[in-house]
């Protein structure tokens, strides 16, 4: 049975789930969540995911939300992207760090800077977030010195989590040229067979609303 990933192209958190699905060889289809039209706040959607968020993975009668959980489910089904047995907790450490320090700040800041009307953008909040993001970029860039991947010798959920927002073109305080190790690492991930940019992998983009 084909799995369904309820997602939308603008969502870096959705991309964290869609990219390992794409690279895993599993049979799956993306289903657009009209997030900006309020679809994730409907009673029908919340019946499947009380958190009212994307991504949401449906595999038969099993339903999973939260990108890190979906990543682990993919790993459990395929044996891929978990690293070696000794890598397990290091992969989890970086997934949790990303969720708290990197993607949470990147997603919020990108939304505030690009998807709110200009007169409603909270400049003080954005400035604070940009400072937090710079510190996170420094941690990741330093760790990637001399490494192709965050943990071990191949791509893991640590990579798919941390890269979730970093391919997007909209401004949110990230310039690849300023972070040479992150830039090289993103190129390495993009060279994996089957890789696609989030706007090519999932339905929905800012151009749809122009």
pLDDT band at 210 (very low <50, low <70, confident <90, very high): low
Handedness of CA 184, 188, 190, 191 (dihedral sign): positive
Buried b (16+ CB within 10 A) or exposed e, 24-60: bebebebbebebeeebbeeeebeeebeeebbbbbbbe
Cα→Cα distances 71→84, 118, 134, Å: 16, 35, 26
Interval 48-67 mean pLDDT: 95
Tell me the pLDDT tens digit for each residue of 15-27: 999 999 999 999 9
**Mean pLDDT value across the chain:** 96
* Domain architecture of the chain: domains with CATH: 3-80+195-209 (3.40.30.10), 85-190 (1.20.1050.10)
Q: Which residue has the tokens 């038969």?
A: 60
C-alpha 115/C-alpha 4 separation (Å) is 26
């Amino acid at each position: 049975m084909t799995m369904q990933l309820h997602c939308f192209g603008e969502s870096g958190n959705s991309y964290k789930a869609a990219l390992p699905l794409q690279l895993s060889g599993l049979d799956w289809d993306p289903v657009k969540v009209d997030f900006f039209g309020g679809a994730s706040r409907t009673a029908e959607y919340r019946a499947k995911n009380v958190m009212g968020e994307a991504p949401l993975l449906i595999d038969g009668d099993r339903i999973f939300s939260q990108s890190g959980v979906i990543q682990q489910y993919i790993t459990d089904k395929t044996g891929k992207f978990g690293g070696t047995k000794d890598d397990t907790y290091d992969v989890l450490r970086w997934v949790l760090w990303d969720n708290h320090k990197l993607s949470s700040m990147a997603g919020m800041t990108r939304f505030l800077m690009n998807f709110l009307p200009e007169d409603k953008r909270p400049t003080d909040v954005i400035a604070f977030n940009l400072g937090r993001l710079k510190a996170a970029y420094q941690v990741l860039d330093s760790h990637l010195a001399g490494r192709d991947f965050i943990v071990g010798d191949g791509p893991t959920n640590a990579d798919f989590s941390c890269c979730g927002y970093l391919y997007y073109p909209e401004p949110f305080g990230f310039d690849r040229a300023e972070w040479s190790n992150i830039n090289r690492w993103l190129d390495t991930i993009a060279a994996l067979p089957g890789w696609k940019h989030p706007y090519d992998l999932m339905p929905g983009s800012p151009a749809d609303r122009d």
